[in-house]
Each structure stands twice: as structure tokens, then as C-alpha cells.
Amino acid sequence: MTTPVSTSQTEPQRNWKDYFTFNTDHKVIGIQYLVTSFIFYLIGGALAAAIRTELATPESDFVDPEVYNQLFTVHGTVMIFLWIVPAGAGLANYLIPLMIGAKDMAFPRLNAVAFWLIPVGGLLLMASFFIEAPQAGWTSYPPLSLTMGQVGEEIWILSVLILGTSSILGAINFLATIIKMRIPEMGWFDMPLFCWSMVATAIMVLLSTPVLAAALIMLSFDLLVGTSFFDPNGGGDPVVYQHMFWFYSHPAVYIMILPFFGVISDILPVHARKPIFGYRAIALSSLAISFLSLIVWAHHMFTTGTPAWLRIFFMATTMAVAIPTGIKVFGWCATIWGGKLRLNSAMLFGIGFVSSFVIGGLSGVMLASTPFDLHAHDTYFVVGHFHYVLFGGSVLGLFGAIYHWFPKMTGRYMNEFWGKVHFWLTLIGLNITFLPMHELGLEGMNRRIAIYDAEFQPLNVVATLGSYLLAVSTFPFMINVVWAIFKGQPASGNPWKALTLEWQTSSPPLIENFEEEPVLWCGPYDYGIDVPPEDQQSVQELLSEVKTDMGR
Amino acid sequence: MQGSTVNPSQEELQYAETATTEQEHEDHRMFGVVLFLVAESMIFFGLFSAYLIYYFVMPEWPPEGTPELELLLPGVNSLILISSSFVMHRGQTAIKNDDVSGLRFWFTLTAIMGAIFLGGQVYEYSTLEFGLTTNLFASCFYVLTGFHGMHVTLGLFLILFVLLRSRRDNHYSSESHFGVEASELYWHFVDVVWIILFGLVYLL
């Protein structure tokens, strides 16, 4: 779909067939990730539309309650494990080597293996619809998951294990690449902030995903062999599963948002023509988030009889996450403050990200408070909260990233008019869909139910209409992408006049990225400094000047 | 860490050479192995944590009626596995002096010791009076030791693979022996996991 258009260069060019092979070029793999995950986004979106259609009326008239269970289970699993996580990995694959001046990732073959596990896991999950789709929600809590259909549940477990493995292999690659393969002049604090956010993400993946694997292995034993790790009937303890599950799945929400924190930190300064505000604070707050994310998991379990002192501990740590996150939001606002804003599609999505994410962040702080959580637990308030974070945050950030780096990936601009149409439809659609859910939740509507009290219907109709608007909003985007690949206005190597290294090569980049060694002549966000000098000597002079300025 | 004992000047030399011959960039494979083992250790961390929660939460642990575990055979078995780590390290020392036959001798010995450990495990399984689904403790016992046993088996295959490759002329030398280092690090990891596992399941 996003095959780069061949230009009249003498260098060997990518052929569209390369994108269907076990190719080890990080740029091919990055695009494979992005296209594959986008296809799963469409599938997950179709499931979401079916869910909303069912919820347009209080009765279960569109699908059976059982089918409804399958719909939301697979919707959640697809959107998390097959859309946002791999799409973030795709961006990281494409951008990290370019941003640090490397030719490829540290382990190119491992990288290709990590990608090809995604379609395998994804198709396996889709295949479950033909047999018996899982019904226990994306959390698969036992004993529910042990009683609702063995085959579907085991398919779900296998699929998540495969996708988790892919994610771990990816994380190993990202860490090794960022730590070991930066060009020699690039110190830790000269890296683009996207690389910082991927370091934090990869650390979380590496430390938390294996614990989920352990939980799923134990769950498989309960399901298939008849052990009773999590089955209270045989003397097991279902709460142990919840601890292990959330030890992964809470960090997972940061795994899904941190790459896009990085994306925004890279988009805003470029289009505001200003240095990022508080580079070190934003960089280090990513690490702070990944550390905190490992000690907040039990806030998902306030209602499962956790002792009071434990609840207070987890409430405090959860609220503490707001501090590094707030630092970032403050930094972004200060970055665009007083800048010469270029309000193109990438920038609009960037600003839309910050504003929608803040809504989701604030409702997150509300939910962190134990008394409030006991009231709102398992209601639509929670659903509204995490959709603001994951859709208003991650998905808007991802679209921003695509508009921003599309010229780099293909050598063509996307159409600005249709980009803006896409943005406004998405922003309006997302608020119409997810804002009423907060009200519904506070009034007491439960999540994960097909049949609800008739008094909730008006707001549900609003949300359903909003979700149709969201469905419509993807069409301008898809048409824009296809049109731009063939007919888009050609873009130069550095169309946005950006300073990070990926813009120092041609668009699309050569097969081994850089024609000559890229030069780090200034910090990643030193906008407002003079235009890059032409000849090598003045580059060196400027480099040493920048280094003295930075006190080295 | 075994890998870091390489003399730094030697390491630079190795990088300089590989950079011009077979590889385009420095060799980061050992670093990748370390990261992989971090992820592996987190799986065991998850399993051990679950075990510890059961230990502290359940009113009686192990549940009533669980037969006592015999300590003599697993104890001897543990000693064999732990000593095999030291034996294996002699193999790496040998290859650092370009002594391929030394490498082969010590690695063969390690493989035999690993196989004895696995045989001992299987024998212990066959004599135990409880099965996988008898009770929660029995399930934990089999899943933990079985999952570890799988790792020992994989480690054993890695050693055999290194032995197979060492038959090729000049495949391993003092400057290039990634396979030796990686399989050794993996084996040490499996050993350390066993020490924790033994403490938790047999002694606690």
C-alpha cells in the first residue's frame, strides 16, 4: 500500500514486492508493521462499530449477548495487541536507525522475525471467529475465562503469547540499537526525544511482558490440563492471575502511549519553529513513567479485596504518575507557546493529541483515587477514560506521526486539505463518541453488557452516532495515503526544515540510509539557530561551538 | 559476567577486524543475549512470585496430605548442575587460549553433567507420589521444575551445537567465540534460576 515511488536515482530502489518478503531492512519492516497494524485497526474498528450498533438500543437486537461478548473481547485484543503496540513498533523501526545515524537495527533478522509473528498471531485470533471466539474480555479473568469455551480461550492465549514474543524481540532490538549504535558524536542528551521514549517503552516491554507470559502459561494449564492455579474450586486463587495480568497490562498502557509522547515531542518543535521546552525533563520523565508503571498495577484491583494499606500505596503511586506526565504536557504547551505555528495536518494532530490526552489523563487521576474508583469501577466512566487516552492519545499521535514522516517514507507530501478534513472528523467524532461515556458511567451503566436500562439510551445513541463519524473519518485518510503515494507533490529530503538526522538523507532514504555519514551539527531541537552551513569545515566549527555552548 | 573478562585491547582488535571482513557494524550479539536473559528472568520472576503469594496467602502450605519431598537426590542433582557451571567456564578459558580440544573436553563434560541432572529430574518425577493435578502445591512443583527443565534441555542443545560447530576448522578462536560465550551465559542463568527454585520449592 505504501510502496515508495521510484525516483530517477541510480541507487537501487525498493520494489513493491519487497514488502511481502522476509526483508531485513528496517524501513521495509517499519512499513510492514504500519500497514499490517492499520489493517487490524480497520478490523478492530468494524468490531467497534458493531458494538456501538448493538448499544444503540437497550435490547439485544443486533447481535446475541454471546456474540456481543466475542465482539468486545476481540475488539480490545485487536486494538491493543495488533494496532497500537505494533504501530508504535513500526514507527520505532522506521525512525530509530535514521534518527541515530545508523544503517539498520542491531539485529535485522531478529527484527524481521518479530514482525512476521504479528500476522501469525493476528490471523490466529481472527480464525477464532470461525470456531468459537473468546468471550472473557481482553483481561480473561479466571474463573470466567475457564468456563466460557475452552477452544476460543486457548486460541486467545496462544495469540497473545505470540504477539508478546514479537514485542519482546522488538524491545531487545530497540534497546540494543539505541544504546550501541548511535553515531559517535551523539550522546544520550543529543538524541531525539522519540528515542528516549522508545528506551522507556522497551524497558517496560522487557520487564513486564514476560510476567504476562507466565500468567498465560499457568492459565493454559488450568484450562487444558485441569490444574487449579486460578480456580477457586480446586483450591487456587484467581486474584493471583489478576496481579500477574496487571503487572503487565498496566505498563502496557504506557507501552501504548510513550512512543506517541516521543512522536509529539518531535512534531511540536518542528512545526512551532522553537526549541523543545525542557528537553532533559521530558527525556527523564519517560524513564520516571516506566519506573512508576511497574508499581501501580493493583489500582485495577481496588474492588477485589486488597488490604487497605496496599490500596493506599497503589493510590499514591498511581497519582504520582501524573507528575512526570504533567511535566511533559507542560513542556509541550511551553514549546508551542509563542512559536511560529505551521498549522498543517501533522501539527493539528499533535495539538489534538495534547488536548484529548489531557482529558483522559485527568479522568485517570480521578480513577486513581480509591473511593472514587470503588464507585466507578467497571462502569462506562472507565471505558470513556481509557478511550480518551488510547484514541485521543495514541491514535491521534500515530496519525500525526504519519502526516509528519510520510514525506520521508515516500518522498511525497500528503494532501493538506484532506488531512485537515480527516483531523476535524476524527477530533469531533472522538469527543461525540467518548465524552458521553463518562456521564453514562457516573449514572451507573456497566461496561461489557449488551442489554442495559432504557434510561441510558439517549446518550448511547449519541455515542453510537459519534462512532459512525469516526468510521467515516478514516476514509479521507486512506484515500489521501493512496493518492499521495502516486500523485502527491514530491517532497525534498527535508521538507519541514527539521534538524534531526532522519531529515539529512533523501526521501525516501537509500537502502542503507545515508549516502555519507550524517553530521550532528546541532542539538535535535535547536530551532532559531542559523540554517545549516554548506561546507564541511564550517560544520566542524559549528559543531565545536555547539559543544562548547553545551559545556563539554 | 563472563563476556566482560575479555581484555579490552583484544576486544577492539576483534571489532576492527570483523568490521572489515564479515560484519558491517560492531558485534552486539552478547548484549542482545543479556537483554534476552533479562526477559527470561522476568518469566521466572512471575512464576516465583505466584508461588510466593500462594505460600503466604494459603491457610496451609503445602496443602494437607502432600507427601514430603525427598531431599537427597535433588540435592546431589543440584550440586552436579552447579558444578557444571564451573566446568563449563574452563571451556571458555580454554578457547581464549586458542585451545579447541580443551573447549571440546570441558563442554562435553558439561553436557554429560547436564544430562545427568535431567535424568535425575525424570527419575524424581517417576518416584513422586503426587501428579500434576493432585493439588496446588503439586501443580506448582511440576510447572516450576518442568519449565526450568525445558530451559536446561535448551541449554544442553546449545552446548551440543557448540560442540558440533567446534569440529569445523578455526570456527572458534580466542578472538571469535560468540557461541561459546552465549551458551555459557545461558547455562549460568539456568543455574542461578535453579538455586532460587530449589530454595523456594524444596527448602522453604
Q: Is A42 exposed, middle or buried (0-12, 13-18, 19+ CB in 10 A)?
A: middle
Interface check A107 vs B, CB under 8 A: yes
The answer to whether A110 and B28 are in contact (CB under 8 A) is no
Q: Note which residues in 54-73 of chain B have CB less than 8 A from chain A.
A: 54, 57-58, 63
Which amino acid is it at B58?
M
Burial string for B97-118 (b: 16+ CB within 10 Å, else e) reads eeebebbbebbebbbebbbebb
pLDDT score, position A12: 61
Could you tell me the three cell numbers for A266? 518531535
pLDDT score, position B11: 42
pLDDT tens across A3-53, in order? Answer: 444 444 445 677 888 899 899 999 999 999 999 999 999 999 999 999 999
Interface residue of A24, A180, A512 to substitute, partner B, most B CBs within 10 Å? A180
- Chain A CB contacts of B182 under 8 Å are none
> A355 φ, ψ to 5°?
-70, -45
Q: Nearest CA of chain A to the CA of B39: how many Å?
A: 5
Q: Note which residues in 206-245 of chain A have CB less than 8 A from chain B.
A: 206-215, 217-218, 221, 225-229, 234-237, 240, 243-244
Q: Is B1 exposed, middle or buried (0-12, 13-18, 19+ CB in 10 A)?
A: exposed
Neighbours of A339 (CB within 10 A): 18
Q: What is the CATH number of domain B3-203?
A: 1.20.120.80
Q: Which residue of A has its CA nearest to B53?
A: A240
- Chain B CB contacts of A208 under 8 Å are 42
pLDDT score, position A550: 63
The answer to whether A101 and A520 are in contact (CB under 8 A) is yes
- In angstroms, the CA A361 to CA A51 distance is 25
pLDDT score, position A2: 44
3-state helix, strand, coil in chain A (%, to 5): 70, 0, 25
Give, in order, the Cα–Cα distances in Å from B96 to each of A13, A194, B2, B99, B175. 44, 40, 12, 7, 7
Q: Do B136 and A236 make contact, defined as CB atoms within 8 angstroms?
A: yes
Q: Do A176 and B35 make contact, defined as CB atoms within 8 angstroms?
A: yes
Give, in order, the Cα–Cα distances in Å from A152 to each of A72, A126, A136, A352. 14, 11, 9, 38
- In angstroms, the CA A472 to CA B86 distance is 65
Which residues, 6+ apart, have CB-to-CB distance to A291 below 8 Å?
none
Q: Is A127 helix (H, G, I), strand (E, B) or coil?
A: helix
Nearest to B46 among A214, A227, A237 (CB): A214
DSSP string, A178-196: HHH-S-TT--GGGS-HHHH
pLDDT score, position B12: 43
Largest CA distance in chain A: 76
Interface check B139 vs A, CB under 8 A: yes
Interface check B130 vs A, CB under 8 A: no
Q: Alpha carbon A372 to chain centroid distance?
A: 27
Q: Is A183 exposed, middle or buried (0-12, 13-18, 19+ CB in 10 A)?
A: middle
pLDDT tens across B147-181, in order? Answer: 999 999 999 999 999 999 998 888 898 888 999 99
Q: Do B28 and A103 make contact, defined as CB atoms within 8 angstroms?
A: no
> A444 φ, ψ to 5°?
110, 20
- In angstroms, the CA A330 to CA B118 distance is 57
pLDDT score, position A537: 58
Q: Do A244 and B50 make contact, defined as CB atoms within 8 angstroms?
A: yes
The answer to whether A183 and A101 are in contact (CB under 8 A) is yes
Neighbours of A421 (CB within 10 A): 17
pLDDT score, position B176: 87
The answer to whether A100 and A182 are in contact (CB under 8 A) is yes
Q: Which residue of A has its CA nearest to B139?
A: A227
Q: Which portions of chain B are predicted below pLDDT 50?
A: 1-23
Q: Do B143 and A172 make contact, defined as CB atoms within 8 angstroms?
A: no
Q: Do A207 and B42 make contact, defined as CB atoms within 8 angstroms?
A: yes
Neighbours of A10 (CB within 10 A): 5
Q: Is A237 helix (H, G, I), strand (E, B) or coil?
A: coil
Q: Which of A133, A239, A117, A128 is nearest to A169 (CA)?
A: A117
Residue whose grid cell is 476524527: A426
Q: Which portions of chain A are predicted below pLDDT 70?
A: 1-12, 529-543, 545-547, 549-552
CB pairs under 8 A between A and B: 106
Give, in order, the Cα–Cα distances in Å from A267 to each of A101, A327, A389, A444, B109. 19, 17, 19, 39, 58
Q: List residues bridging with A379 in a β-sheet.
A: A446
pLDDT score, position A175: 97
Interface check B45 vs A, CB under 8 A: yes
Could you tell me the three cell numbers for A34? 504500519
Q: Is A143 helix (H, G, I), strand (E, B) or coil?
A: coil
> For the CA atoms of A363, A366, A367, A369, what is the dihedral angle to 10 degrees?
170
Q: Nearest CA of chain A to the CA of B35: how many Å?
A: 6
- Chain A CB contacts of B58 under 8 Å are 235, 237
Q: Is A468 helix (H, G, I), strand (E, B) or coil?
A: helix
> A527 φ, ψ to 5°?
-75, 145
Q: Which residue of B has its CA nearest to A110?
A: B32
Interface check B50 vs A, CB under 8 A: yes
Q: Do B28 and A180 make contact, defined as CB atoms within 8 angstroms?
A: yes
Q: Do A218 and B63 make contact, defined as CB atoms within 8 angstroms?
A: no
Interface check B112 vs A, CB under 8 A: no
